[in-house]
Structure 1
Amino acid sequence: MAIRVLIAEDEILIARKIEQTLKRAGYEVVGIATDGEAALQKVSETAPNLVLMDIVMPGELDGVETAQIIRDRFRVPVVYLTAYADRETLERAKITLPFGYVLKPFEERELTIAVEIALSRHQIECELQAMLDKSKGLSQQNETSQTLKSEYISYISHEFRNPLAAIASSAELLQAYHNHLNEDKRQKHFERINSAVSAINQLLEDIVILESSESSAVLLAPRPLNIVEFCQDLIDSLQFSIGQSHILQFTHQSTCETLVLDEKMLWQILSNLLTNAIKYSPIGETIKLETSCETHKFICQICDRGIGIPPECQTHLFEPFYRATNAKKRPGTGLGLTIVKRAVDLLKGEISINSTIGVGTTVCVTLPLIADPPPSV
């Protein structure tokens, strides 16, 4: 069945051009509305999968107001069409959480890319909502389960929303200013999209590990690993994702570099700990990752000069969804340290936290080393 699109555009020649472009791309145009009121009526009558909305529309409702009603009442994604790309207009439009922008005049490919990205993003959000609804249903079994599952739902929604917003933001800029961006800037936006997709994949892995570790279903895969290259790659990846907000430093204090460790588990541990350090440190601060080897042990420390953890909270840090009293207003989920602790336990290691309010936090993880990796089966 063809994807159904409604066009809300008061300039009929532009609307017909959009209609022809969409039909050539295989979409079904269910109608053209020339003002906000007509757009609402047609959405109600035709149930489109997507609305292309001109921001400046005649009548009592402009495009932004109409888009907000469509989102709230009908849950239909909206992509804005506009010849007004000034910052004030875009900021006003952003409040309605659109699924994209197309700057007029536009190329045919720009329009179809915007539609494809919007539909793909909307599908992901619908699938996530279905997952959340399923979790919410399961959570109603008892009062304790209800509390935990509600927090779990909030966690998933929050963590998926950030990378999706990054994807949307870069896609919008590429669509609106594609012809005005040089190759380097375009590439940076593509890299940002790829990074956000990776973040979504990483989050899914986190959830799987959290769930499977409870049933001891995780299969460990230790193998020889160049710990210096591994940690530097992790630092570079995180530094790229946070830009210049914080400085990440890595030092390896031993001559041994190749160790037998489970790469995925180690990535889970260090990435979560570093992300926490970034989250709770002031802008511009330095976060340090220090690694070393002792006899049959690999030791890593993550040091920050962040807000610190109240003493009465430190014994609860590894509990699912727990947030320290001075961290509740910060973005986060309360699952990061739970994932870290379970990963450390699976590797038969140890973790300790030394923290002082207003001074910072040092997390130390010690993992046993395997002399030789197990033979391949």
Structure 2
Amino acid sequence: MPLALQPSRILIVEDETIVARDIRNQLIELGYEPVGHATRGEEAIALTGDLRPDLVLMDIQLASVMDGIAAAQAIRTQFALPVVFLTAFDADQILERAKLTEPFGYLLKPFSARELRTVVTMALYKHQAEAKLISSTCQLQALSRRVLEAQEFERRRVAVELHDELGQLLTAIKINLQLGERLKDCAPSELNTENIRIVDDALNQVRRLATGLRPALLDDLGLSPALQWIAEIIAARSSFSVHFCPQEMPQRLAPDIETACFRIVQEALTNISRHAQATQVTITLCHENNALVLCVQDDGLGFDLAAMRQRAMLGGSVGVLGMQERASLIGGQLDIESAPGQGSQVQLTCPWRALAPSA
């Protein structure tokens, strides 16, 4: 049974007790939950910190040293919560000061229940949109940092392999060629054999580099063989076994979908290898209702999903952000389920889009 939505919690800041009581009754009738009442600016800030309401209704004219505008500024700065101003005055000077606090609404007293509902509803919606935007911005910044870090790491890896592996092999061939030039009277068969062996080693090294950057299997044979390959590669150096269950696909998928699926599985298996201590991993791939469904499930330690999402928001779990971003770019949705001691499941659902026929 789905959980009932909790009513929005609202703090009332009003120094007129009768007015505050009337506002409280209106909020209750409208389906909101008044969580407290403050009469002074300092008290409003303290109650906001203690109660963490969803919204603050703030009277501008308060019988205290700190008026509502100053209190609203402190609340926005300290808690990033939305504030709606209430006032019986509409002087331009007051409005200009109030605008500096970036309020989420403005109500002139006396106001009707309909006006209250409209302003509160829009303020809550605007705050939710703002929170999502901030979250998306934080995720984008974390992903951007990760892209740059990954780019530099990959450049260093390729540079080291080119220098230490290919560089040495090419140097050896050069030395052999120079030696053969000096020893023209000697039979070249041994040097030729050695050069051929070195060239074979160099070719194998180039293939390993190319496969590390992007497996040719994905382009040549498609998603299922590529997933089988990466699963076997990662499982071979880990402590788990992989059971891959692909449904026979009616046709090849669009390249961007195949790439996203491959990288999501690669990241999921890498995370399992590093953290899960799993013994069994199951990968399923199927075509359902004109959608592609890809699932990676393990029997490992599991994790606290809420804590993981918080780390991802702060940039501490960029692998998850990367998988979500890849899913989003192909119009899909990535769902993660886990709990401590109960393993985990990563599922991608995206629209089915086939490979375009060649011209």
The TM-score bracket by the shorter chain reads 0.3 to 0.5
Q: TM-score, normalised by structure 1?
A: 0.38
Rg (Cα) greater in structure: 2
Q: TM-score, normalised by structure 2?
A: 0.40
